[in-house]
């Protein structure tokens, strides 16, 4: 273990609710004109947002070792416990690889911190900024920002005011720039099962603190020992039936290290790049967001049969373990081939296994072992990564359903590599070198 993580203290109670999130950046037209949709190496990336320095300082931060953030599965994605403010307020957060900061519901509704319950259900957990004596408004350095559309609330405004406060996770405590929500529409009908979003998207050269993940800010401030974040998924049906490697939880997000004992063989490291098409076919934001752990997919196969990739825009593999990362990522054309190869037939589901727009198909449960594995290769290594048939066929009561998610049209242009891809794998993000590490999971 690289700095053995300490154990988180308690599980999270989860309630069912609605949508999910990401986002921020320059004009999509500017990026497309410059890069023409290709996955581009990181030195070409440009500064986004107001020019300012991170607020975190050594006097506001302290750290110990790394920490295993225990994750609980929810319909939105994985939830974990963080605290914000002084005294610390628990802010159960949706842990999101594709979001650019620490977002938190606050008391502010329509610009007024006294109108909280005009926007929120009375049992919605929030961060009460007025009760933290270390909360500081940072609007002079980082003006308020609104995204519409977005992937939190879609065509409702996602508006944030920037502030700084102390965030604590396990042994780590640091002053960070946070996104303090200013809610602009009615969410009184039902509470979300979380009060914030703990973003873990990569930080590119020139990005200021308004679009830096909270982990990155805390690592720069010295509150984490190493720039690594690692994940493994203790899914139902895995060989770890008791979920002991996740300390009884659904997943483990290790912060400040990765656990070498969970790596079988070697880690394969891949450089990430910019993929502007993500804001066209996947996560659509205005202003656009481009901070994603994106690899260049170089080969897609069903068994040994190679499938075509988009030649004009390239093919982006976007790592996202929230709800958009459910289902094996395939192109429309490759999905059609898989349907034929598995003798699948159409089915209408009240509760489908993923939120994609594609149709769903059932298969004969007795023939699943004969299906082809789905295979991927990424630029940087010849290593082939598989999703086995048992991991892309979802058992729903007495039905077996192809759990596939498609984006775009025709050949493969983009896909979200999350829960389904992550099964039996160990995934590491290096925030210093902007690399993704992949290995087989040593259960």
Active site residues: 96, 320
Question: How does DSSP classify residue 165?
Answer: E
Euclidean distance between CA atoms 182 and 160, whole angstroms: 6
Using alpha carbons, select from 376, 359, 357, 251 the residue that is nearest to residue 315. 376
Euclidean distance between CA atoms 81 and 329, whole angstroms: 29
Contact 387, 255 (CB under 8 A): no
- Going edge to edge, which strands form the sheet with 393-396? 345-347, 360-363, 399-402, 393-396
Tokens in use for 355?
A: 């939120």
Pairing of strands 399-402, 393-396: antiparallel
Euclidean distance between CA atoms 156 and 37, whole angstroms: 27
Work out the burial of residue 46: count CB atoms within 10 Å of its CB; fewer than 13 is exposed, 13-18 middle, 19 or more buried.
middle
Euclidean distance between CA atoms 242 and 219, whole angstroms: 32
Tokens in use for 120?
A: 């929120």
* Element at 302 (helix H, strand E): strand 294-302
Q: Which residue matches tokens 């025709």?
A: 410
Euclidean distance between CA atoms 428 and 253, whole angstroms: 10
Contact 76, 177 (CB under 8 A): no
Euclidean distance between CA atoms 346 and 333, whole angstroms: 16
Using alpha carbons, select from 175, 141, 149, 179 the residue that is nearest to residue 161. 179
């Amino acid at each position: 273990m690289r700095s053995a993580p300490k154990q988180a203290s308690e599980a999270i109670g989860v309630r069912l609710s609605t949508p999910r999130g990401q986002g921020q950046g320059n004009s999509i037209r500017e990026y497309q004109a410059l890069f023409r949709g290709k996955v581009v190496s990181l030195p070409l990336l440009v500064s986004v947002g107001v020019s300012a320095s991170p607020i975190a300082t050594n006097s506001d931060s302290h750290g110990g070792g790394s920490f295993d953030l225990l994750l609980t599965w929810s319909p939105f994605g994985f939830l974990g416990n963080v605290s914000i403010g002084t005294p610390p307020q628990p802010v159960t957060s949706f842990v999101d690889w594709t979001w650019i900061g620490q977002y938190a519901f606050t008391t502010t509704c329509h610009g007024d911190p006294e109108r909280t319950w005009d926007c929120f259900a009375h049992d919605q957990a929030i961060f009460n900024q007025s009760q933290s004596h270390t909360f500081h408004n940072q609007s002079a350095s980082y003006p308020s920002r609104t995204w519409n559309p977005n992937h939190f609330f879609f065509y409702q405004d996602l508006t944030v005011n920037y502030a700084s406060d102390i965030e604590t996770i396990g042994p780590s405590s640091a002053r960070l720039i946070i996104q303090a929500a200013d809610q602009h529409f009615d969410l009184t009908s039902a509470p979300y099962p979380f009060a914030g979003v703990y973003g873990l998207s990569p930080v590119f050269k020139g990005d200021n603190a308004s679009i830096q993940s909270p982990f990155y800010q805390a690592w720069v401030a010295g509150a984490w020992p190493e720039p690594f974040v690692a994940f493994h998924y203790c899914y139902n049906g895995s060989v770890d039936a008791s979920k002991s490697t996740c300390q009884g939880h659904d997943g483990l997000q290790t912060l400040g290290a990765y656990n070498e004992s969970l790596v079988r063989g070697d880690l394969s490291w891949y450089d990430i790049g910019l993929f502007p098409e993500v804001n066209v076919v996947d996560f659509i934001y205005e202003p656009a967001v481009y901070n994603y752990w994106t690899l260049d997919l170089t080969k897609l196969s069903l068994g040994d049969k190679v499938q075509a990739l988009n030649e004009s825009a390239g093919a982006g593999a976007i790592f996202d373990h929230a709800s958009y990362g459910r289902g094996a990522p395939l192109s429309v054309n490759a999905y059609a081939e898989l349907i034929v190869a598995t003798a699948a037939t159409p089915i209408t589901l009240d509760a489908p296994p993923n939120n994609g727009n594609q149709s769903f198909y059932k298969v004969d449960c007795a023939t699943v072992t004969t299906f082809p594995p789905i295979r991927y290769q990424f630029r940087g290594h010849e290593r082939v990564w598989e999703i086995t048939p048992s991991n892309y066929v979802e058992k729903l009561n007495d039905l077996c359903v192809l759990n596939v998610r498609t984006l775009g049209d025709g050949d493969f242009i983009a896909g979200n590599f999350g829960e389904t891809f992550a099964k039996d794998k160990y995934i590491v993000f290096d925030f210093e070198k902007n690399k993704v590490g992949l290995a087989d999971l040593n259960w």
